Structure 1
């Protein structure tokens, strides 16, 4: 077919255009049946913009339009259309990792993870809620879906949290926040991570390597809220004698670590993600036979194949339909136009740009799945963030004015002159921020699917559960700001600065949670909470001097709350 097209000098004939039109219509309809109207409607808007709607827009947004023949050719035959990069990623990397996850779940890994969480954390303060964080982190990195993760682990952890004394809406909020974080945890971070690797030309291994520490910090931030709430309410941990022993649980399921090890081994060795995932799938079947209770027979293998195919259907059609949007955005140059608009509104401010991206992500997330939201935002907004991160470097090293450093055309022409570690670090940080923010619709009202799913299990008010999950997931917003302003947390720059950022950032998240909960080793008043808020800002600020000031305030507040204030409380007569 390609040879015939080349022989015609890339000029499609009527038959080609008919098949192209049918393909577009069928993909839009399959997407509608799978995910609803919003994604096809968005694709329809971009198609209309390219054909005729662009003519009615004023100024920079005006577009003269293309013929239907040209548009169909771009969507069906071009490498940035329906069957271009995104479709290739979907049918190779994404499918094999979805299949890997399906085999792991069918082999019994889900039950093992929950048992391990119970044995490790059940006896700690707020144990059942921390178990949800641990289990959801691991399950989410396998399942790739916050809603599926909420159902899978929440059906066990939410009732346990309620029995311990947590309110239903808090229990549901914990599960939703933890399940959302599962998409951020390597080694499987969802379809968006593979698209990120392809678009940025940064290896998937490097992406999951730099994403690990921020993901751990996110789960710690959720655990901090749980710990403080349990302390504040005086909730007791589960008796240790009632819990399974860690050694017994590991003895039953140690073989589940083998496939993860195999996957990471081949990735580190330099093999492609598809090869690594294939070897991982084979190792799951082999490793399952090391334990009598987890052995996978022919029926289990067929069930895993069916589960993987079912899970891939919705992801696949979303990615194909997103290919329409991406192809048209690239064709009409909308990415550059959007970058210029953001730069104008934000006035060159990186922080305001991040806020605008967060708002856009929330609005898109009300109707778009996480992966589609990431794709749309990445193609539109990532260049703006990257450009603002590079602004100071361009001004200092190339003598550009601030206005020139924010001109997309000038920046694109100079990318090759910028040191690779600087340009690559900015590119990766920008895409990771959008990837993180594209998850926020799972936990942010008014539309928060993971929270609403958890509220159904918890028997709580959906809006209250959504508000709790939004509060618990504050790390989702704060951590990306940390690595945008100082990419050291992504292992960009001196290693000593990376460790400093991890420590101050983690302590800052604890202080921030204490401010929200009103508990810092004891119940605190509003004046003390304001001091903690200032302390958190100092710890998050990307300067060593302010970080030191924040640490000093942390220690002083600890002395005051545990020694001085405690002594005053004891001296008050009964």
Structure 2
């Protein structure tokens, strides 16, 4: 009986970073063949990188041709790297995967070699064209299944079904229907389907930024970020948790996946937090919330920034500027949360003598951060993202050579090309699948219909419309990669807010935020589950804690829709500064309410008062700011009368 009790109450087993990536991030579950097939895959990756660098330097091809070759390389690599079945060997090539790779080359290169005739036929596709189009669409779906999983495929299949079921749909959702051949032609032989805007962005900006990230990683920048965060914050109250927040935020500037960020930095920070005394569920939650915020952190934002610029029709730098203040507020909320969690349980930092010295780090490896600074400067001064990324790649290699310890060898240079090509595959196929969704939307007008339905449900009121858009984005974002996440939510959810005269950029950012927050929102919270795996904690408790830490992400989007100056839309320096100061004070109040501790533990009424005061300060307006300050001052004085000190972290529950 005692043995049974021990088994049922035992904590979940801890997982390595590699095990976490394989379980929660399908993009990382690649085949690593030896011998001949290893060389073949490496050669294809190098050719892929050379094609992208050549067109980046000397000019891209015609849009359809550029995207076709990009998809050809991508799908061939996906079928060679990702086995059809999880049980198949990761060290040898299965004949079925080889057949799929050859078919994918045929289906895409058909467009390349028949391009002039396809243009002359101007949509009058032959029976052969249709057969190739069907093959290409099926291959895109299968490649997406292997790489990004079922959630995105399910959404795309629902849209395909809607295209055919239009005449049988009720009310506002009805449409005349789309013929089979007509839909295949639209999705595969135009630039409004698979080869649409998302694929265009993937074949230009996104690839080069991912290659840039691969070279940054090769120089040891990730380790430099973690060491720097340790030097700056490791000694403070709750030091390792603050290291997790800071390092994950820094890694977010180049990372494209919240799960990858959790595995990369969490393998260092989560054990440190547990050693200090943080509850396992909270340790995993800190890393999950901080890593998810990396997708909201400029300048890359999980590659969604490039798509947002194209969809909204604004310069890329405007998207980056708009994302700055919300990202700062997000990380401020997490930082305050981990600080007061540490004070709540009396958790100290790591002794300074055990930490790296910031000055020494800066002298030894500070040059590695120069390309990040330069790329931001280039973007601000008007360079195109492609040109800025090319200069940044060259500068990364040059800067790495400034010191022997960080120097990139010829082998490292070649591996950078290979890793860049492998790293883009998940984004590439997500963009292709997202193109199917967009193709159905443009053919049927379902985007406008869904927006109208949301507005009807909200009774034409902005706040209910925002709430329903939030729920829609959270559901659509579950288990979907960042880039595809944005495409789906911006296509389906954002138009409802645009119809209510919300600025287009604010509407798209709103939908994007809630799509990303799905990574820490139970029941499908992939980043939180990845963090729980490393921490050996209960996944659901980790998800709940992560959602509490990420409270800013649930509130700030409402605020920047009501007050677009937070996105630097039609704002002056004074309004931006005042909005930011009051919002940070508001985050302080909200975080105290979530953690339940200030100088002493807070009772339920005090937590409610802190929450209301913080909310008033985040909501724009002079009267709400005055009320928020008054409420927080009263709440602070009230809690000072409490008796009691730090608690003891003996369990997983608050």
Pairing partner for 1:431 from 464, 489, 508: 508
Distance 2:636 2:548 in 1: 24
Pairing partner for 2:524 from 444, 447, 462: 447
Tell me which residue corresponds to 2:648. Answer: none
Tell me which residue corresponds to 1:506. Answer: 584
* Displacement after TM superposition at 1:251 (Å): 1.1
Instruction: Decide whether aligned partners of structure 1 residues 144 and 7 sit closer, same or farther in structure 2, where only a CA change above 3 A counts.
Output: closer
Distance 2:486 2:300 in 1: 16
Kept in 1: contact 2:469–2:494 (CA 8 A): no
Instruction: Decide whether aligned partners of structure 1 residues 6 and 517 sit closer, same or farther in structure 2, where only a CA change above 3 A counts.
Output: closer
Tell me which residue corresponds to 1:287. Answer: 399
Indicate whether 1:87 and 2:199 are aligned.
Answer: yes
Indicate whether 1:133 and 2:233 are aligned.
Answer: no
Distance 1:546 1:38 in 2: 41
Tell me which residue corresponds to 1:538. Answer: 616
Residue 601 of structure 2 aligns to a residue in which SS?
coil
Tell me which residue corresponds to 1:473. Answer: 550
Distance 2:189 2:614 in 1: 52
Query: Which ranges of structure 2 fall in alignment gaps of 5 or more residues?
Result: 1-113, 646-654
* Displacement after TM superposition at 1:553 (Å): 2.6
* Displacement after TM superposition at 1:119 (Å): 0.3
Distance 1:291 1:9 in 2: 56
Residue 254 of structure 2 aligns to a residue in which SS?
helix
Indicate whether 1:39 and 2:116 are aligned.
Answer: no
* Displacement after TM superposition at 1:47 (Å): 2.0
Indicate whether 1:552 and 2:630 are aligned.
Answer: yes
Tell me which residue corresponds to 2:595. Answer: 517
Alignment of 1:147-158 (within 5 A): 147-158=259-270
Kept in 1: contact 2:240–2:269 (CA 8 A): yes
CA deviation string 1:296-335 (max 9, x = no partner): 0111111121111111111111110110111111110001
Distance 2:478 2:572 in 1: 39
Distance 2:638 2:161 in 1: 63
Dislocated runs of 4+, deviation >6 Å: none
Distance 2:119 2:528 in 1: 51
Tell me which residue corresponds to 1:56. Answer: 168
Distance 1:188 1:46 in 2: 29
* Displacement after TM superposition at 1:271 (Å): 1.8
Kept in 1: contact 2:256–2:482 (CA 8 A): no
Pairing partner for 1:116 from 219, 222, 228: 228
Distance 2:526 2:554 in 1: 18
* Displacement after TM superposition at 1:471 (Å): 1.0
Alignment of 1:317-328 (within 5 A): 317-328=429-440
Pairing partner for 1:485 from 550, 562, 583: 562
Instruction: Decide whether aligned partners of structure 1 residues 520 and 294 sit closer, same or farther in structure 2, where only a CA change above 3 A counts.
Output: same
Kept in 1: contact 2:299–2:305 (CA 8 A): no
Distance 1:515 1:9 in 2: 61
* Displacement after TM superposition at 1:130 (Å): 0.5
Instruction: Decide whether aligned partners of structure 1 residues 200 and 481 sit closer, same or farther in structure 2, where only a CA change above 3 A counts.
Output: same
Kept in 1: contact 2:151–2:478 (CA 8 A): no
Distance 2:386 2:118 in 1: 30
Tell me which residue corresponds to 1:27. Answer: 140
Kept in 1: contact 2:477–2:489 (CA 8 A): no
Residue 141 of structure 1 aligns to a residue in which SS?
coil
* Displacement after TM superposition at 1:569 (Å): 8.5
* Displacement after TM superposition at 1:173 (Å): 0.3
CA deviation string 1:121-143 (max 9, x = no partner): 01111111000000000112211
Kept in 2: contact 1:31–1:40 (CA 8 A): yes
CA deviation string 1:553-574 (max 9, x = no partner): 3234334444xx27x899xxxx
CA deviation string 1:522-567 (max 9, x = no partner): 22323322221221232122211111121133234334444xx27x
Aligned-CA RMSD value: 1.7
Kept in 2: contact 1:361–1:440 (CA 8 A): no
* Displacement after TM superposition at 1:6 (Å): 4.1
Which moved further from structure 2: 255-264 or 533-542? 533-542
Pairing partner for 2:416 from 288, 304, 311: 304
Kept in 2: contact 1:218–1:476 (CA 8 A): yes
Tell me which residue corresponds to 1:7. Answer: 120
Distance 1:320 1:209 in 2: 28
Pairing partner for 2:360 from 248, 253, 272: 248
Which moved further from structure 2: 85-94 or 536-545? 536-545
Distance 2:507 2:356 in 1: 43
Q: Across the two proteins, how many residue pairs are aligned to each other?
A: 531
Q: TM-score, normalised by structure 1?
A: 0.89
Distance 1:469 1:135 in 2: 17
Residue 388 of structure 1 aligns to a residue in which SS?
coil
Distance 1:546 1:441 in 2: 29
* Displacement after TM superposition at 1:155 (Å): 0.5
Distance 1:181 1:553 in 2: 29
Tell me which residue corresponds to 2:468. Answer: 356
Distance 2:122 2:332 in 1: 58
Distance 1:468 1:6 in 2: 55
Distance 1:298 1:216 in 2: 38
Which structure: greater helix fraction? Answer: 1
Query: Which ranges of structure 1 fall in alignment gaps of 5 or more residues?
Result: 391-425
Kept in 2: contact 1:184–1:211 (CA 8 A): yes
Distance 2:380 2:329 in 1: 23
